[in-house]
Amino acid sequence: MGSSCSILNDTEHDVWITHEVNWEVAVGVTRGLVNALALGARVLALVASDEREGERNRHDRHNVATGQLSHRQIAPMTRNDWVRVASLLELSDVALAEVLQVSRREAEDMRSAVREFQEKAELIGPGEKYTWHGSLSLTMRVHVMNDKLQFDDKGCFTGPTADSEKVYTISNHFRKLDVY
């Protein structure tokens, strides 16, 4: 029993699409659990010892637990970076570096990031759909890049009931991409 999520390419452009765990939601839920545990630890500490000792222990446990969480950066390049690279991607690394005013290594990294994304993503033409299946109301982070190398991402859910499908259109849900 499960449901699905689809991304419909209702634009005039080819797009590359991939998805992964929605870390923003996972980190938010984890932080909520850590805070609840920290509160529970404080109550237990107050019962077991005097208030000063309990307060110090709560801070220590809270800092260790929250210090282990980190926010995952999904897109290291900004939208403007992707747009600039789009028209320059066919230049040599040296020429690309000069135009973007970055080192040759940074230009190579930008070109590599675009190609790596295209290799791991699925190419979806105009009118086609990208679909995955999962548990009910599962959220995943969807990454989309069009043939202009414009990039956007969004948290998307599978359908809320058994065998249902939640459909997201590029034009309505991925607003950083040119659709015409």
Helix (H, G, I), strand (E, B) or coil at 75: coil
> Do 61 and 135 fall into the same domain?
no
pLDDT tens digits for range 14-38: 999 999 987 665 555 555 555 555 5
Residue 179, in any domain of the structure? no
- Domain holding 34, by residue range, is 28-67
> Do 34 and 93 fall into the same domain?
no
pLDDT band at 69 (very low <50, low <70, confident <90, very high): very low
Q: Mean per-residue pLDDT for 49-68? A: 47
pLDDT tens digits for range 127-172: 999 999 998 888 899 999 998 889 999 999 999 999 999 999 999 9
> Do 99 and 169 fall into the same domain?
yes
Contact 133, 6 (CB under 8 A): no
Q: What is residue 156's predicted lDDT score, i.e. its pLDDT?
A: 94
Write out the H or E segment, with its range, that includes residue 151.
strand 151-157
Alpha-helical (H) ranges within 49-166 are 51-67, 79-88, 93-100, 104-120
Q: CB-side exposure of 35: number of CA atoms within 13 Å?
A: 6
Residue 72, in any domain of the structure? no
Does position 10 have pLDDT exceeding 90, yes or no?
yes
Helices and strands in the chain: count of H runs, count of E runs: 6, 7
Write out the H or E segment, with its range, that includes residue 133.
strand 129-134
Q: Quote the tokens at residue 106.
A: 């940074």
> Do 35 and 18 fall into the same domain?
no
Looking at the structure of the chain, the number of domains it has is 2
Q: Mean per-residue pLDDT for 33-55? A: 55
Residue 98, in any domain of the structure? yes
The residue from 13, 37, 67 where one domain ends is 67
> Do 52 and 106 fall into the same domain?
no
The residue from 67, 92, 122 where one domain ends is 67
> Do 145 and 118 fall into the same domain?
yes
Residue 178, in any domain of the structure? no
Residue 99, in any domain of the structure? yes
From residue 97, how far is each of 104, 106, 113, 150 by CA, in Å?
5, 7, 15, 19
Does position 46 have pLDDT exceeding 70, yes or no?
no
> Do 142 and 126 fall into the same domain?
yes
- Euclidean distance between CA atoms 143 and 27, whole angstroms: 18
Q: Quote the tokens at residue 132.
A: 């995955």
> Do 84 and 7 fall into the same domain?
yes
CB-CB neighbours of 163 under 10 Å? 11
pLDDT tens digits for range 100-135: 788 888 888 888 888 899 999 999 999 999 999 998
Q: What is residue 77's predicted lDDT score, i.e. its pLDDT?
A: 47
Q: CB-side exposure of 104: number of CA atoms within 13 Å?
A: 4
